[in-house]
Amino acid sequence: MAKLNQIIAVEKGVKSRSFQDLTDAHHTVQKTALLTGISRVYQPKDEEGEQLPPESTKVQIRAEDVLRQMATTLTRLFDVTATKDSANCTAKADVTIDGTVLLRDVPVTYLLFLEKQLTDLRTFVKKLPVLDAAESWTFNDSADCWSTEPVRTIRTKKVPRNHVKAEATEKHPAQVEVYYEDIPVGYWTTLKFSGSLPAKRVTELLDRIEKLQAAVKFSREEANNAEVTDVHVGDKVFGYLFG
C-alpha cells in the first residue's frame, strides 16, 4: 500500500506527462492529411488505352485511437489525483510544541495553509518597528506606550549688550560694539513617546513563529506518511465519455 507522500511525489510527473500527451494529441488530430486516405484504380476506355497503376494513401491516424490513448493517459492522472484528495480528507496529525499538543488532528490541507500563513507572518513581524536603542525606554501606563525619562533643558534668549571700546572725547563720540548674550529665560521638560516594540519582544515573536513553523512542517510530514487506498475513477469517467 502506498503512502500519501509517495502519491504526492509522483503526482507532479503524472500531471506533466498528461498535459504533454494531451497537447501532442491535440496537434496530431489537427493534421487532417494524416487522418485522410484514398484509393484510386484507373481503367482505360478500351484495351488499347494507357494502363496506369492504382494510387492509394493510407489513413495514418484514427481519432478513435487517439481517444483511447488519451483515456489511458488521463485515467492515470484522474486516479492519482483522486487517491491524493481522498487521502487528504483523512490524513491528520497533531501540532506539538515542546511536548504539548497545540493543535490536535489537523488535516494535511490545513497544515499546508498554516505553513503559508506562518511564512507571511514571519515576514511581517521581522519588519516591525523597534525602539531606538540610543534611548532608555519604560512603559508609560498613562500614555499606553513607551516613553523616555523626562529631560530638562534650558531655554535661552539672546539679549543685546553694549561694549564700550573707547570712551567719548570732545572730538569723537564713544566707540560702542553691540554683542548678544544668551540669558536663561525658562526650561523645557521633554519626554519622548513611541509605539514601537522593544527589540527583545520582536526577537521573542520571531522565535515563536519559527518554532511553530518547524512543528507544522514536522506534522505535515507525519500526516503525509499515512497509508492511502488507491482510488480508481478514471475508467468510469472515460468509459462514459469515450465509450
**143 within a domain of the structure (yes/no):** no
**163 within a domain of the structure (yes/no):** yes
**166 within a domain of the structure (yes/no):** yes
Q: Predicted confidence band at 235 (pLDDT cuts at 50, 70, 90)?
A: very high
- Same domain? For 93 and 9 the reply is yes
Distance CA 36, CA 27 (A): 15
- Same domain? For 24 and 58 the reply is yes
**142 within a domain of the structure (yes/no):** no
Domain span holding position 75:
4-131+199-242
**221 within a domain of the structure (yes/no):** yes
- Same domain? For 33 and 113 the reply is yes
**156 within a domain of the structure (yes/no):** yes
What's the chain look like in SS3? CCEHHHHHHHHHHHHHHHHHHHHHHHHHHCCHHHHCCEEECCCCCCCCCCCCCCEEECCCCCHHHHHHHHHHHHHHHHHHHHHHHHHHHHCEEEEEECCEEEEEEEEHHHHHHHHHHHHHHHHHHHCCCECCCCCCEEEECCCCEEEECCEEEEEEEEEEEEEEEECCCCCCCCEEEEEEEEEEEEEEEECCEECCECHHHHHHHHHHHHHHHHHHHHHHHHHHCCECCCCCCHHHHHHHHHC
- Same domain? For 99 and 215 the reply is yes
- Same domain? For 230 and 181 the reply is no
* Single-letter residue type at 67: L
- Same domain? For 95 and 118 the reply is yes
Query: What are the residues whose beta carbons fall under 8 Å from the beta carbon of 50, sequence distance 6 or more?
Result: 44
Q: Predicted confidence band at 49 (pLDDT cuts at 50, 70, 90)?
A: confident
Q: Write down the pTM of the prediction.
A: 0.68
- Same domain? For 123 and 210 the reply is yes
Indicate the number of domains in the chain. 2
- Same domain? For 229 and 180 the reply is no
Q: What percent of the chain has pLDDT over 90?
A: 61
User: What would the mean pLDDT of 80-92 be, rounded to a whole number?
Assistant: 90
Q: How many CB atoms lie within 10 A of CB 121?
A: 16
- Same domain? For 179 and 204 the reply is no
- Same domain? For 111 and 204 the reply is yes
**169 within a domain of the structure (yes/no):** yes
Compute the C-alpha angle 114/81/226, nearest 5°: 60
- Same domain? For 97 and 166 the reply is no
- Same domain? For 173 and 86 the reply is no
**136 within a domain of the structure (yes/no):** no
Q: Predicted confidence band at 79 (pLDDT cuts at 50, 70, 90)?
A: very high
Strand partners, 197: 130
**pLDDT for 94-135, tens place per residue?**
999 999 999 999 999 999 999 999 999 999 999 999 999 999
